[in-house]
Amino acid sequence: MGSEIQRIHQLLVEKKISCTDLVQGKLDELTKSTSNTSNFLLTDYALNLAKKVDQNIANGKEIGILEGIPFGIKDVYLLQGSPASGSSDFLRNYISPYTATAIQKLLDAGAIPIVKENCDSFGHGSSNENSVFGAVKNAVNEKLVAGGSSGGSAVNVAKGYTVFSIGGDTGGSVRQPAGYNKVYGLKPTYGRISRYGIMAYASSTDVVGPIARTMEDILMVLNVMSGKDYHDQTTINSDNISLSDCQDKEAAQKLKVGYYKSFINNKAIEPGIKTDFMALIEKIKGQGIEVVELDFLDSETLVSTYYTLAMAETASNLARLDGTNYGNRITGTNLKDTYAITRSENFTVETKRRIVGGNQVLSQGHSEEIYLKARQIRDIITEQFESEFEEVDIILSPVSPNNVPEIGNSLKDPMTMYLSDAYTVGFSLGGLPTLSVPVGPSTGLQVTAAKNQELKILQFSNLITA
Ligand code: GLN
């Protein structure tokens, strides 16, 4: 399957469809959908932009490849003048005062945002049930969860309601819902895309990630959004990646692949996921690619390290939400009471669990034993990745060890939900680029490379899906 963006671009240029009809069609589908993917439709905003694209085409102007392409935005990004709720009661009526850099770059390229998408509140979750707008339904089987936290974005792409969507990934939130809904989802190298204008969850692992139906579309959107931004001091310069390099099969054939025994031999992995993953490994070996087994920390260590740090960072980041500067204020009998009621009433149970946990691991008497220890383990994880990538180019794993859960189960059992992130969180702690590819195990295949080696990931994915 070639680029969907390219296909629609061609239809627009050849005047086989108008941009207004295209955008209106997608908005109608979103309105009729029962998947619960939309928090807010950007109807007037999008139709206005579509009209301008139609005028440009009518005037014989050349249009850019992304011009007029409808896309979705996870509801944690700011788009000036539009709602940005983080799927929370706190910010239900919040209007963005400025636009996130990543989104601005897409607007500058002419892409049209049509919807702010349902997600887990502040990115807290792995099932997209932790949302004040309700659970998102899986695109393949409505009884199952969409995955989280960027569930609305993944389902919109899978259903074709958006051509691509912009999710956010802190510990797996782009890769896991992409895997659950059989589309592509990329977590780029930390710092490749600016985080300016995305609600901070855990700032040291938060990244902006595109979700799309083809590798080509992921590439196009990645190139547009990447680059240094003086608003985000962790951003790095990166070169554009060319499509022809991604399609270079000879180069892909030479990539050396590894997978972690500790992931695959873990008792928590579903037998079917293990069988399908190993069958894929055999197929890859059959294509003449060298595959080796690697040893790594057990996934429980990765999950506990990630959750210790993510909770600590979210407790700090969400301290600013007290109803004074942002969000819905509930007045109590005095100021302290006002803070307490505002925060207890406006955060979800899952978000409060993380704030309480985060403050606990940061508190005096505990921080050295828990928070600082997690920081040390993170350094060990990062060093180990560096040495792994001296030996191999690509690391493969299933996206998640468990089968896609049914709606209702994860909320009852948060620990099982946290463990479903076992294979994604480690790569977040390492700041590595990693892509969910809809092949192999039912939760998808995760293809990871060393920092700034997105090209290898795309080359390899192209080889195994061609
Ligand atoms: N499921 C993970 C968590 O809840 C990851 C979420 C995310 O990447 N935003 O922390």
| 281 found inside a domain | no
Nearest atom within ligand 1 for CA of residue 124: 4
How many helical (H) and strand (E) elements, i.e. helices and strands, does the chain have? 19, 11
For residue 123, the cross-strand partners are: none
443 pLDDT band, cuts 50/70/90, is: very high
Asked if pLDDT for residue 182 goes beyond 80, the answer is yes
Instruction: List the single range of 10-14, 82-86, 300-304 with lowest mean pLDDT.
Output: 300-304
Asked if pLDDT for residue 246 goes beyond 80, the answer is yes
DSSP line for 259-316: EEHHHHT-TTS-HHHHHHHHHHHHHHHHTT--EEEE----HHHHHHHHHHHHHHHHHH
**Which amino acid, 114?**
I
* Residue 466 pLDDT: 78
Average pLDDT of the chain, as a whole number: 96
| 184 found inside a domain | yes
Asked if pLDDT for residue 178 goes beyond 90, the answer is yes
Q: What is the dihedral of CA 266, 304, 191, 434, to 10 degrees?
A: 10
pLDDT > 90: what percent of the chain? 94
Contact (Cβ atoms closer than 8 angstroms) between residue 388 and residue 257: no
CA atoms of 73 and 77, how far apart (whole Å): 7
Residue 153 has which token pair? 């974005």
70 pLDDT band, cuts 50/70/90, is: very high
Nearest to 359 by CA among 370, 345, 349: 370
What is the per-residue pLDDT across 200-240, written as a single tens digit (0 to 9) for each? 999 999 999 999 999 999 999 999 999 999 999 999 999 99
Ligand 1 atom 2 nearest Cα: 171
State the angle between helix axes of 299-317 and 371-391 in degrees (0 to 180), rounded to the nearest 10.
130
Asked if pLDDT for residue 399 goes beyond 90, the answer is yes
**Substitution site in 118, 120, 204, 429 for ligand 1 pocket (most atoms within 8 Å of beta carbon):** 120
* Residue 450 pLDDT: 98
What is the per-residue pLDDT across 305-314, written as a single tens digit (0 to 9) for each? 999 999 999 9
- The DSSP symbol for 383 reads H
* Residue 444 pLDDT: 97
Contact (Cβ atoms closer than 8 angstroms) between residue 403 and residue 441: no
419 pLDDT band, cuts 50/70/90, is: confident
Asked if pLDDT for residue 299 goes beyond 90, the answer is no
CATH code for the domain in which residue 17 is found: 3.90.1300.10
415 pLDDT band, cuts 50/70/90, is: confident
* Residue 268 pLDDT: 87
Q: Find the domain containing 138 and state its range.
A: 4-242
Q: How far is the CA of 63 from the centre of ligand 1 (A)?
A: 37
Pairing, β 394-398 against β 445-448 = antiparallel
CB contact set of 59 (below 8 Å; sequence gap of 6+): none
* Residue 208 pLDDT: 98
Residue 66 has which token pair? 């992304």
* Residue 297 pLDDT: 78
Q: How far is the CA of 48 from the centre of ligand 1 (A)?
A: 35
267 pLDDT band, cuts 50/70/90, is: confident
Catalytic annotation, residues? 74, 149, 173
Q: Which residue has the tokens 């595109």?
A: 210
Nearest atom within ligand 1 for CA of residue 169: 8
CA atoms of 185 and 182, how far apart (whole Å): 9
CA distances from 32 to 25, 26, 161, 212 (A): 11, 10, 11, 21
Ligand 1 atom 5 nearest Cα: 171
Nearest atom within ligand 1 for CA of residue 428: 8
Residue 456 has which token pair? 């290898």
Asked if pLDDT for residue 1 goes beyond 80, the answer is no
| 411 found inside a domain | no
CA atoms of 315 and 43, how far apart (whole Å): 35
325 pLDDT band, cuts 50/70/90, is: confident
| 316 found inside a domain | no
Instruction: List the single range of 31-45, 100-114, 409-423, 448-462 with lowest mean pLDDT.
Output: 409-423
Q: How far is the CA of 167 from the centre of ligand 1 (A)?
A: 12
| 254 found inside a domain | no
* Residue 251 pLDDT: 97
Q: Give Rg (Cα) of the chain.
A: 21
CA atoms of 378 and 306, how far apart (whole Å): 8
Q: Is the peptide bond before 149 cis (omega within 30 degrees of 0)?
A: yes
Ligand 1 atom 1 nearest Cα: 126
Q: What is the mean pLDDT of residues 387-395?
A: 97
| 152 found inside a domain | yes
Q: How far is the CA of 195 from the centre of ligand 1 (A)?
A: 16
Q: What is the mean pLDDT of residues 24-35?
A: 98
198 in helix, strand or coil? strand
CA atoms of 364 and 87, how far apart (whole Å): 32
Give me the number of domains the chain comprises. 1
* Residue 158 pLDDT: 98
CA atoms within 13 A on the CB side of 38: 21
| 68 found inside a domain | yes
| 400 found inside a domain | no
329 pLDDT band, cuts 50/70/90, is: very high
